[in-house]
Amino acid sequence: MQTWQTIPLWEEDPAAAIAPTRPARLGWADAVGVFDLETTGVDVTSDRIVTAHVGLLDASGTAVRARSWLADPGIDIPEGATAVHGITTAHARAHGSAAPSVIAEVVSALRDLLDAGIPVVAYNAPFDFSLLKYEALRHGIPPILEPSPVIDPLVLDKAHDRFRRGKRTLEAVAAHYAVPLVGAHDAAVDAIAAGRVAQALARRFELDTPVHELHTRQIGWARAQADSLTDYFIRIGRLDPDDRLDGSWPIR
């Protein structure tokens, strides 16, 4: 079941909603799309969408568009996944919409933003975009194969504050940049927090690079970060020397 918050529906051009009050030359961070999924697990090729959120934030981080979905994933939701996001199999079956209709609507909402040139923020983007791709393929829906422009606060934070100690979970990074995050692992809460973290990063590090150029830079940063983490895991014996982490970004 999809639900709209008390915010107007998408206009034909999502950018039009914020254009009248947009300050001049603030860069990509003055209007960002946000996207997050909660799922049955962490395997992007086989796990399923349970909840999804796609929205639009203005320059102040206020949600000016917000749409959330609850899907019946068509399979049982493992207890471990329920422990994370709180959705049980029974609840999803009783209240969720059919997976194909949810996936088609999520894909359409994201295409609207990307086609308008509005960057979509997704924390650890390869997980959400890859899982959505495989869900679309599973149900015969044309997938988004090359999402662009995308902003990934996880990649940006690692690239610009490389040696900071501590976790890089959304909760930890949001706290570091003083972005409130109450009720983590709710798709809407996480999506909006990630968007506000991206905006905080833009301010902190003056990331006024044109968004398509920044998208391209993130491809290289993500690959370098995966290579560095691979080397570390090999040193501590967590990975075999012949194994490598996949650094593809923003989709695998």
pLDDT digits (tens, 9 = 90+) for 16-71: 444 434 443 459 999 999 999 999 999 999 999 999 999 999 999 999 999 999 99
**All structural domains of the chain with their residue ranges:** 2-209
Mention the CATH class of domain 2-209.
Answer: alpha beta
pLDDT at residue number 252: 94
Separation between Cα atoms, residue 6 and residue 161, nearest integer Å:
37
Residues lower than pLDDT 70 in the chain: 1-26
State pTM to two decimals.
Answer: 0.90
The secondary structure of the chain as a DSSP string is: -EEE-SSPPPPSSGGGGTGGGPPTT--GGGSEEEEEEEES-S-TTT--EEEEEEEEE-TTS-EEEEEEEEEE-SSPPPHHHHHHH---HHHHHHHPEEHHHHHHHHHHHHHHHHHTT--EE-TTHHHHHHHHHHHHHHTTPPP-SS--SEE-HHHHHHHHSTT--S--SHHHHHHHTT----STT-HHHHHHHHHHHHHHHHHHTT--S-HHHHHHHHHHHHHHHHHHHHHHHHHTTSS-TT-------S--
pLDDT at residue number 26: 59
